[in-house]
Amino acid sequence: MFVATKLPENTKVSGWVQMLPERTPNPSLSKSINVDVAIIGAGFAGLSAARRLSQCNPKLRVAVLEAGEIAAGAAGRNSGFIIDLPHEVSSDEYAGSDAGPTRRHIMINRTAIQLASDVAQERGWGKDVFDPCGKYNIAMSAQGDEHISSYAKQLDALKEPYRLLDSRQVADVTGTTAFTSAIFTPGTIIVQPAAYVRGLADSLKGGVKIYEKTPALSLEAVGKEWRIKTPQGAVTAGKVILANNGHAESFGIYRGLLMHVFTYASMTEEFSPARLGGDRSWAATPAFPMGTTVRRVRGERGDRILIRSRYTYNPRLKISENDVERAGRVHDRKFDARFPTLKGVQMEHRWGGAMALTWNGVPAYGEIESGLFAACACNGVGATKATALGIAAADSILGIKSELLAAFGQFEAPKSLPPQPFLTIGAKANLGFREWRAGKE
């Protein structure tokens, strides 16, 4: 029996959610039900698993339990990059001579993109929700320029398309002269994450039922089935998918294997597009790992800039408003350095979102006990890896021998983290060092 020691807590509301109209949540579970599959968590992983299950077998009875409201959690706090290529250009695995592991990662990522593309086509989304525009990897220093050049050589080896931009060309795109170089890759999808997650939930058909404001309080094996208790009801299921990322550890699962890190974002108020030249919609990850992600978001009444940076280690799986405000002061400096012509434009929204990392960068995935599957630990690439993990978990339950499932089967198991207090000391020191090393980026 696994009993939750804590429930998800979200500090502040994501700007992505606040940009959307209010919605009426699905009803909470208020009785005992029996289903074929229960999914704990309605983020990228859980909803993708539900979609895959219902597509392959519409007769399956599937219950998705969401502790809060759709898009209020980590999925709706994402920066909205569904990437096809690994974006940490200094990754040893990516830069290595053996392209096999990298090809597996690319295949995993593109499987996630295919699911997202299918949903977008079905829903008839415009570019405000789903934009297959690609992304920039962008530099602000000589150090960043070197990483861009290295990345280009790696893409050459992989025979992946790209386009290099000098400082003038970057300015033509971004409307600012702050950046020194960039590399553009065409395969990434950019989404409005809260709108995407809501739409994915609304797309589910067949026997899928979503219950919001219905946290799982405990999991208990009863014969060949699992019984999940909730505040006002219970679910008995033949199979269960844990799609709650770091909160799997709240049930005592993967204890000592998951490192809980929060990252932060700030989004400006709307400003007149006339104040900033360049394209009105673009997205860029930093040339140097742990740097600053930037997006320009086009709107009907004006545009916004998203700044995402700053990382903190939070083993209790929650942050305070002071944590968000401290990160916000860093964002203000980053914004001013990149967009001096937007002086006076204020940040309207600030928030943080949780990530679950493993020591060796692999997912926490697979059948934990008979009938109990995990699709967790997205290692900071939630929209992409979580989507693929959800698909793979569904394939496992369905008995489908897919290429994706084979790829996840080749990952080693998560390695144990150092004991406390060394873990906290080391994690904070490592995050601080990597942010310092990123410098201007």
Helix (H, G, I), strand (E, B) or coil at 27: coil
Give the pLDDT of residue 48. 98
Give the pLDDT of residue 95. 41
Which residue from 400, 53, 65 is spatially nearest to 218, judged by alpha carbons?
A: 65
DSSP codes, 364-401: EEEEEETTEEEEE--TT-IIIIIHHHHHHHHHHHHT--
Q: Cβ distance 345 to 273 under 8 Å?
A: no
Give the pLDDT of residue 197. 98
- Residue extents of the structural domains in the chain: 2-77+194-256+360-415
Residues 6+ apart with CB under 8 A from 392: 365, 375, 402, 404, 405, 408
Query: What pLDDT, in 10s, does the model give residues 65-119?
Result: 999 999 999 999 999 999 999 865 334 443 444 457 888 999 999 999 999 999 9
* Distances in whole angstroms, Cα of residue 39 to Cα of each of 32, 46, 236: 15, 6, 11
Assess if CATH 3.40.50.180 describes domain 2-77+194-256+360-415: no
Q: How many whole angstroms separate alpha carbon 137 and alpha carbon 164?
A: 10
pLDDT < 70 regions, the chain: 87-99
Q: How many whole angstroms separate alpha carbon 85 and alpha carbon 112?
A: 12
Give the pLDDT of residue 87. 67
Which residue from 369, 390, 235 is spatially nearest to 377, judged by alpha carbons?
A: 390
Dihedral class, residue 77 (left if φ above 0, else alpha if ψ from -120 to 50, else beta)? alpha
Q: Cβ distance 63 to 33 under 8 Å?
A: yes
Q: Cβ distance 77 to 16 under 8 Å?
A: yes
